[in-house]
Amino acid sequence: MDLLHRKQVSSRELHDTAIAAIEALHPELNFLISWNEADAAATLAKPLAGAPFAGLPFLVKEAVGMKGQPAVMASRLAQGMRCEADGELVTRLRRAGVIILGSTAGPEFGNAPTTESVLHGPVHNPWNPGRMVGGSSGGASAAVAAGVVPVAQSSDGGGSIRTPAHCCGVFGLKPTRGRTPVGPKSNGGYFGLSVPHVTTRSVRDAAAFLDVLHGDEPGALYRTAPPQRPYLQEVGMEPGRLRLAFSTASPSGEAVHPECIAAVLQTAQLCESLGHYVEDIPLIYDWEKFRTAFADVWCMSMPLAVAAIEAASGRAAGPDTMESSNLAILHHGRSLGAEQICRSAALLYSIARDVEHFFQQWDAVITPVNLMPAPRLGMINANGACQDMLDWFDLAISRFAAFTPIFNVTGQPAMSVPLAMSGEGVPIGVQFAAKVGEEALLIRLAAQLEAARPWRERQPMVHIAKYKA
């Protein structure tokens, strides 16, 4: 962006470079599901003067909702459906001046920590094409990691920004619930679990985009207090001496990969060397209760969503139109009664209160992002032999992504910071979470860590800088 602002490069040059990068790398990585050529050309022809990101090539996640773009959600059930209007987030992105080149891939209905849908096929990790990119913002993270675009839109309902950032070695910040808009079509974002933002290579870019995306949305179910100053101003500001708790024990009780443990321990030592107080204190809550309650709340809106798609597409939900994991989610959602939904919601609120009470003693908590570095493609099979919703939950969450969903329930901001590499050459992210509304603290801390242990110059195996036409 600095080159663009200083007029050392034109919007047309950036646009053409990004298009060439997509054409060069998409066949190998499979991160794009649709182009946005006419709309992008119109924006390029008439850039918004004075807009903070005027002329910046950009990709959105299919799930965000953009007029004229596919609304398929990687499902055969919804093939051919398109968005009728922009969502509020896209409206704000347009106002910021970005040139939206197309839509990135995610898993079916966004309900997996990997991006390997039956409809679109697997997205390949730029660091090792045999590894998964995470989900649900997998296409976005792959594109950013490969240098196709510097920033791509993403969203997080259980780890869907943080898990792909961990797998692909990029920076991923999930904002506080209500910080960024999810409407108007989706009023609550999975009842407050899902929050949109972006995936970036640098902390600075994440902060700059949060400045243009945050703010109350008319009629929004969830809202949060505005920041004291622009988030971009937090980058480089001294965070002060923070009280940081860290833990490497999975809340699910499953084993954590030694290299993910080592990444957290090394990060704790780094934070201590930067002057912070660091202590090994686990964040404890009842996983079995959390597991069943989270599954209920996640599944309860699926029957309504599927019914609407069936009516619009003329197709019926079944093995030929939906993956087995989502059929299990659908079946579970249909089995829920009002009493069970209310009980599960109350239980999650109770767990959230306990977690937030824990945070009264700590400025932030450090954990692994996931239980292992990016697994091999096919290891978490969303269309495998799935007996019921809890079988799928255990495969996808309990044994892989157990560290992330608690902060979707509490609504706290959390981030994946790419601070380590595995012995096999794939990235390892470290998760930091802070109190509700404390994105500024996380941005200051992340910028401090980025300065102490830079990651932007690391390039994966598949990267546009290595491509020779």
DSSP three-state, residue 171: strand
Is 186 annotated in the active site? Answer: no
Give phi and psi for 56, each to the nearest 5. -80, 120
In angstroms, rounded to a whole number, what is the distance separating the alpha carbons of residues 114 and 32? 15
Where on the phi/psi map is residue 372: left (φ > 0), alpha (ψ -120 to 50), or beta? beta
Closest CA to 149 of 53, 85, 5: 53
Closest CA to 182 of 138, 140, 213: 213
Contact 238, 275 (CB under 8 A): no
In angstroms, rounded to a whole number, what is the distance separating the alpha carbons of residues 323 and 395? 15
Give phi and psi for 69, each to the nearest 5. -85, 160
Contact 305, 268 (CB under 8 A): no
Closest CA to 152 of 298, 260, 21: 21
Side-chain-facing half-sphere of 274: CA atoms under 13 Å: 25
In angstroms, rounded to a whole number, what is the distance separating the alpha carbons of residues 437 and 120? 36
Q: Which of 61, 247, 252, 344 is catalytic?
A: 61
Contact 106, 139 (CB under 8 A): yes
DSSP three-state, residue 231: helix
First to last CA, the chain: 25
Q: Which of 11, 103, 117, 136 is catalytic?
A: 136
Strand pairing category for 151-156 and 195-200: antiparallel
Contact 370, 164 (CB under 8 A): no
In angstroms, rounded to a whole number, what is the distance separating the alpha carbons of residues 430 and 172? 10
In angstroms, rounded to a whole number, what is the distance separating the alpha carbons of residues 460 and 466? 9
Is 10 annotated in the active site? Answer: no
**103 bridge partner residues:** 34, 60
Q: Which of 11, 117, 160, 416 is catalytic?
A: 160
In angstroms, rounded to a whole number, what is the distance separating the alpha carbons of residues 58 and 260? 31
Radius of gyration of the chain (CA): 21
Closest CA to 206 of 194, 214, 215, 218: 214
DSSP state of 123: P
Is 247 annotated in the active site? Answer: no
* Residues that are catalytic: 61, 136, 160
